Amino acid sequence: MNNKPKFAIEADKLTKSFGSKTVVDEVSFSIKRGEIFGFLGPNGSGKSTVIRMLCGLINPTKGQGFINGINVTENAELIRKSIGYMSQKFGLYPDLTVEQNLNFYGQIYGVPDHKLKDRKAELCGQIGLNPYMQNKADQLSGGWKQRLALACSLLHKPSVLFLDEPTAGIDPVARREVWDLLFDLSTDGMTMLVTTHYMDEAERCNRIGYIYLSKMIAIGSIKELIDSPELRNLNSYQVSIQGEPSMAIYAYLRSLDYLKDITIFGRNLHATLPNNLSIESLKNLIIENTKCENLSIKSSEPSLEDIFVILTKKQKANQ
Ligand code: ADP
Ligand code: MG
């Protein structure tokens, strides 16, 4: 019989107040083993504070966190053995070499000396750090610094990994390489909670949670979010518009105050139309008012970014 709990990470109404300010307000979610969970939300919405509570670094004011079914607050020392935490400003030592940083973190995480050599070799092979072992951390590019930080947080073979903005400020190729590594780790069964501001990264996650002003306002797979009642019961729908010259169409659409959220996506314009305006009517309006050619308008699924904009506006309106 498998006695392992179904969820690797659970937040049960986690709440944190600093003085009179509540910065995390009854946040609940559960993450299955092996899942990559994307944790999104604007700066200051409470993401890092949730992570710090789940790592046992700070105590919740109310609510509880569980790692592999074990209460974090009651077993903070035990929990630390099974989690890795790559914080937003992971503390690499710039004057130490890659190898010395790994040795240092090996000691911090209590990896016995006789195991550390093999573990370093295994990780550096997987992460590709071998050619850089004798380089000072300071000399590494942003992407390699992040990979070293990742290696440091994995030395003790945690089963759960918290990554707080692991790809902030690194170039797109390095971002993709870091994500390839995360997928490798996830296929090995590791559970991950990752915060990011990048929509393309969020789309790579199995599920997403969106926190806004200290409250979790949406949670689910992208499909579940798109199909959610909040997005289904709108009095509007999304379209994608193509035509030349696109800037003339854009300027015209902006002049119509009943159209919302007009944005440019490459050669396409995205707009939100009220349900009582058909695609055909909009087409006629654009043709009459601009000298455009090759006009095409199609209804489109909202992008993840659209979803967050819609949910954020709804939340604001309800306050
Ligand atoms: P995020 O990671 O989403 O950017 P944080 O969890 O870092 O957000 O912060 C949420 C809010 O809590 C912010 O307003 C921040 O200023 C506040 N905060 C975080 N840590 C502390 C602290 N130790 N004392 C007081 N306020 C804090
Ligand atoms: Mg943060």
φ and ψ of 301, to 5 deg: -70, 145
- Alpha carbon distance 12, 66 (integer Å): 8
Residues 6+ away with beta carbon under 8 Å from 214: 22, 23, 24, 25, 27, 45, 46
Round the CA-based radius of gyration of the chain to a whole number and report it.
Answer: 23
Mutate to test the pocket of ligand 1, among 23, 50, 89, 212 (most ligand atoms within 8 A of CB): 23
What is the band of 1 on the pLDDT scale with cuts at 50, 70, 90? very low
Burial of 10 (0-12, 13-18, 19+ CB in 10 A): buried
Ligand 1: centre distance to CA 44 (Å): 6
Q: What is the pTM of this model?
A: 0.87
Q: Collect residues with CB below 5 Å from ion ligand 2.
A: 47-48
Is the CB of 48 inside a 6 Å radius of any atom of ligand 1? yes
pLDDT of the residue at 100: 96
Mutate to test the pocket of ligand 1, among 18, 58, 213 (most ligand atoms within 8 A of CB): 18
Residue range 296-305, pLDDT digits in tens: 999 988 788 8
pLDDT average, residue stretch 223-248: 85
Ligand nearest to the CA of 44: 1
pLDDT average, residue stretch 137-158: 93
Q: Whose CA is nearest to atom 15 of ligand 1?
A: 44
pLDDT of the residue at 301: 81
